[in-house]
């Protein structure tokens, strides 16, 4: 069913190797090259990555590899728009390098999922792996066995593993948010964090160390990043007449929160200020538009690719490089 290099060679009356050379732009007589190219076209030859991969363990870091895997961790599904943007950044940069990104979601709850993942990652022609989201040290080590070129994006590298990575400055971003809330004379903010062990939640805790004292009260709630959980939470607070004058959380959560506030006829920003995090595209188009801490998600992805390429090219990276992507506050109508 597939056309092999041998058939192309036969048709062009040359050997397999010459065909390979043509593909590689190695020196071949012009006339021969033309015959081969024509032969490839006519048979609509597609090289078999599988076969290439067989010679892989040495080929892996060769210039021929055309793909890398972009693996999404377990919790990444909720934060849609965020990772969509990261992915876009990855793909743009990948295209720049002539690479192709194979995306895989890792679903924790499915049996054998992990084994299948590993098998996928050992597919030939994969020059490396970018991990997006949260991974445990053991998981990373497993992956390293299968493919040594790993870059981790938007997640703190767990202790005990050495992996280069790109990281948004979440703590710095949270600080900006709190500082801004203070400037807005907020006294009793409600903070909507993600799941307990999550990067974002920890960053919030980190940033609060510096600012907590300056507020009268700070209420923190963990959520699953869904709009619904934010809406419910805020609804409950309002119904229980808990006093608060601001909400801070990621953009998705803020959308849910704003809905709840609207349902109760509360004025934004008059009665309650709202500050988001991530600055997803929709922020500008909400009414009122959402003040948010901007993270350059595309850079996050793009830089990860650059790092991966460097890693592949130079063989090794100097230790556990962390490239921070800085956060910027975008003031809009909710504050």
Partner DNA sequence: TTATAAAATGTGAACGTTCACATTTAAGCT
Partner DNA sequence: AGCTTAAATGTGAACGTTCACATTTTATAA
Q: Which residues in this chain contact DNA in the complex, by CB under 7 A? A: 2, 4-6, 13-18, 20-21, 23, 27-29, 31-32, 45, 47-48, 51-52, 54-55, 57-59, 62, 64
Nearest distance in Å: CB 118, a copy of itself: 5
* Residue 188 contacts which entry, a copy of itself, DNA, none (Cβ below 5-8 A, type-dependent): none
Q: Using the minimum distance from each CB to DNA, give the nearer residue, 33 or 231.
A: 33
* Residue 91 contacts which entry, DNA, a copy of itself, none (Cβ below 5-8 A, type-dependent): a copy of itself
| Bridge partners of residue 248, in order along the sequence | 191, 275
d(CA 206, CA 172) in angstroms, rounded, equals 9
Helices (H), the chain: 5-12, 16-24, 30-43, 49-54, 56-59, 80-96, 113-121, 137-146, 170-183, 199-211, 227-239, 251-263, 297-314
Nearest distance in Å: CB 154, a copy of itself: 17
* Residue 239 contacts which entry, a copy of itself, DNA, none (Cβ below 5-8 A, type-dependent): none
- Given a contact cutoff of 8 angstroms between Cβ atoms, the answer to whether 127 and 106 are in contact is no
Q: Using the minimum distance from each CB to DNA, give the nearer residue, 45 or 244.
A: 45
* Residue 258 contacts which entry, DNA, a copy of itself, none (Cβ below 5-8 A, type-dependent): a copy of itself
Q: Using the minimum distance from each CB to a copy of itself, give the nearer residue, 145 or 322.
A: 145
C-alpha pair distances (Å), 31 with each of 25, 34, 37, 184, 266: 14, 5, 10, 74, 77
Say how many C-beta atoms besides its own lie within 10 A of residue 139's C-beta. 20
* Residue 286 contacts which entry, DNA, a copy of itself, none (Cβ below 5-8 A, type-dependent): a copy of itself
Q: Using the minimum distance from each CB to DNA, give the nearer residue, 46 or 270.
A: 46
Structure tokens at 332: 């809009």
CA angle 209, 211, 214 (to 5 degrees): 135
Nearest distance in Å: CB 100, a copy of itself: 5
C-alpha pair distances (Å), 76 with each of 40, 183, 253: 42, 33, 15
Q: Using the minimum distance from each CB to DNA, give the nearer residue, 54 or 107.
A: 54
Q: Using the minimum distance from each CB to a copy of itself, give the nearer residue, 125 or 164.
A: 125
Nearest distance in Å: CB 82, a copy of itself: 11
């Amino acid at each position: 069913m597939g056309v092999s290099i041998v058939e192309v060679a036969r048709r062009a009356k040359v050997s397999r190797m010459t065909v390979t050379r043509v593909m590689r732009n190695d020196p071949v007589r012009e006339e021969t090259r033309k015959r081969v190219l024509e032969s490839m076209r006519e048979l609509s030859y597609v090289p078999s990555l599988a076969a290439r991969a067989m010679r892989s363990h040495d080929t892996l870091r060769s210039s021929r590899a055309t793909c890398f895997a972009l693996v999404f961790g377990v919790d990444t599904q909720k934060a849609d728009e965020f990772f969509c943007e990261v992915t876009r950044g990855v793909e743009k940069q990948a295209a720049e390098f002539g690479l192709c990104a194979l995306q895989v979601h890792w679903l924790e709850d499915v049996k054998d999922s992990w084994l299948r993942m590993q098998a996928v990652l050992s597919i030939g022609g994969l020059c490396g792996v970018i991990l997006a989201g949260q991974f445990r040290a053991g998981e990373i080590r497993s992956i390293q066995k299968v493919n040594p070129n790993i870059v981790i994006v938007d997640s703190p590298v767990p202790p005990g593993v050495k992996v280069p990575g790109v990281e948004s400055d979440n703590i710095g971003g949270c600080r900006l948010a709190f500082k801004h809330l203070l400037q807005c004379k907020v006294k009793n903010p409600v903070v909507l964090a993600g799941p307990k062990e999550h990067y974002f939640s920890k960053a919030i805790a980190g940033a609060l160390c510096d600012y907590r004292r300056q507020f009268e009260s700070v209420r923190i709630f963990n959520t699953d990043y869904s709009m619904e959980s934010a809406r419910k939470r805020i609804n409950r607070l309002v119904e229980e007449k808990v006093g608060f004058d601001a909400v801070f959380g990621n953009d998705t959560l803020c959308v849910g929160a704003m809905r709840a506030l609207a349902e109760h006829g509360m004025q934004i920003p008059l009665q309650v200020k709202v500050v988001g995090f991530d600055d997803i595209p929709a922020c500008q188009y909400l009414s009122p538009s959402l003040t948010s801490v901007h993270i350059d998600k595309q850079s996050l992805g793009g830089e990860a690719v650059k790092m991966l390429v460097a890693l592949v090219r130079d063989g090794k990276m100097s230790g556990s490089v962390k490239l921070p992507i800085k956060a910027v506050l975008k003031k809009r109508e909710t504050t």
